[in-house]
Structure 1
């Protein structure tokens, strides 16, 4: 078994690699649904809101994937710790184990923090590739926590025409920190980053809007964004959370989710819109899943400026982690990457 720490995973995993792994997985799911088995994740709330601890959660996310030749089991264990930024630790902490189902051999055990960040971002990258105007020039980043770096990198990977990035965070200092770190660590992207004092300023001219927050109500209304903007929403991962307003959801020409089964339990934005009798959007109006875009069953005419607003909602699924982690594990076994450990 190869053990890979965070630094080793970062050395091996690139955004194009993750985007390709996700697209390949979605094609397999479309053509051979039985090859990918992903039971509903187990979510256990941790702590209760108090002066010393914010409410978090622990997740167990198993998946079994057959690639046409071999079958693998991948399990990710995640703990979401909202108090961690104050400790200079990431909010989302994770580990991943990859094993061969034929022999039970564990191929790799790896840090899952970066895998989680990159696979979440890669989902938005895939959605942006199929749903946003390919000539997009401006991206708004709303919420500049740990997930936001790779989210922006993914969008820049699939939309190389982007030149302007606007930033907003509830705590302005963190937006300035994001700007400094992104300019230093992601210098391959020739973009201008501007910190905005208000959300309205950040999103008003954006062709693409990335949301990654723990908000509990919509962050902006439909009349505050461009009529053909594309929105990637990866926060609001619990039913009581919401970052996309009902006015944006019901005005979207296309609403796509990465995983419908998980979304109906966890996608707070869409759950609350469906529950709101004053909102015109319901689950039966969902345009489709990310798999439908990749397979071609759902087409968005992105080059047409009149396509309307498009919305991608991501809740994640163990199969996406599996696709990315499996690529790393196979390379680690072949090239003896990381530390070899005998169990």
Structure 2
């Protein structure tokens, strides 16, 4: 989306409420925005490595900046995240968008909600490219704040999905999420259910999406059905992993960006154990979109997509929110 808004004149910064953000964004429109924008603006974006500062023995402040040199994306953005794990919820975020031509503040918005949308939509976009066109069963592992977004993103990417099976360590949470989704999108002909058997659920999934902080492998590669697509979202530290080595060995592995190669526990561990090498990773999301790397090559192969997030998709999501808001 090329920017049509002038940021050269002095204006009052806007505060975009969380309700407004929800009314502006849909998983379909954000997936489409990423699909069209990532190949054209990625090379013009500078996104330094995420900075983390300890503010106490248990709490930290994280900064994720990104800015563009492209006239079509005249923005500089920073996501500020606080991590206070002793509180519930333990993560809070704000996103501040500036003009990259004048430096003035343009908008502030809910960084937590923005992150939920952009994370899910990155997975949705990868699924659009890597999962089978005839996928019918989505298995959602985890029932936290990200799970409903991931479900909606996968449904947007694969409207042929007919059944969603939810598993969570606490089964009552899986049942509650199934009921919530049944009430909000069940009218579209999609069946929602929970399943207390993880192995049984995984074996049924055409798409298996994981959003947990597990440090024990949940998805066993031997349980993945032929032609499945495995979407790994949760791990961002070496101690975390949502699948075992067999899942990595059986699948063609793709990542959202290079940071996944040094941050994701599933991949770092697989590299260390010689399961695969870094050179065996088949490509990044932007390469898939642009056709530089081949995605799914057959109906039988298993694909694996691992994401850890980036400031690039933050600023693109913020762009869509801001420009849509200003046109209302």
* TM-score computed with the length of structure 2 as normaliser: 0.91
| 1:266-295 C-alpha deviation (Å, 9 max, x unpaired) | 21110111112xx42121111010011100
Task: Return closer, same or farther for 1:39/1:156 CA change in 2, 3 Å cut-off.
Answer: same
Q: What's the counterpart of residue 261 of structure 2?
A: 264
Given that 2:141 and 2:208 are in contact with CA atoms closer than 8 Å, whether structure 1 keeps it comes out as yes
Q: State how far apart, in whole Å, the 1-side matches of 2:296 and 2:261 are.
A: 27
**Residue of structure 1 equivalent to 2:270:** 273
SS of the residue corresponding to residue 201 of structure 2 reads: helix
- Where in structure 1 are there 5+ consecutive unaligned residues? 49-54, 336-343
Does residue 76 of structure 1 match 2:100? no
Deviation at 1:323, TM superposition (A): 0.1
Task: Give 1:108's aligned residue.
Answer: 107
Note the residue ranges of structure 2 that are not aligned, 5 or more in a row. Answer: 1-12
CA distance in 2 between partners of 1:171 and 1:235 (Å) = 17
Superposed CA RMSD in Å reads 1.9
Alignment of 1:12 with 2:24, yes or no, is yes
- CA–CA distance in 2 between the matches of 1:327 and 1:120? 15
- 1:200-242: CA deviation from partner (whole Å, max 9, x where unpaired): 1211111000000001121132111102210110001112111
1:209-224 superposed matches below 5 A? 209-224=208-223
- Picking from 12, 15, 40, the partner of 1:3 is 15
CA deviation vs aligned residue, 1:134-169 (integer Å, no higher than 9, x gap): 110101000110001111111110111111111110
Q: State the TM-score, normalized to the length of structure 1.
A: 0.87
What do residues 176-205 of structure 1 show as CA deviations (whole Å, max 9, x unaligned)?
121122122334542111211121121111
Give the Å deviation of 1:264. Answer: 3.0
Cross-structure match for 2:134: 135
- Aligned twin of 1:205: 204
Q: Which has the higher relative contact order, 1 or 2, with Cα contacts under 8 A spaced 6 or more apart?
A: 1
CA distance in 1, matches of 2:172, 2:241: 23
Is 2:282 the partner of 1:282? no
- 1:64 match: 67
In structure 1, distance between residues paired with 2:278 and 2:164: 32
Equivalenced residues, count: 316
Moved over 4 A (4+): 45-48, 81-84
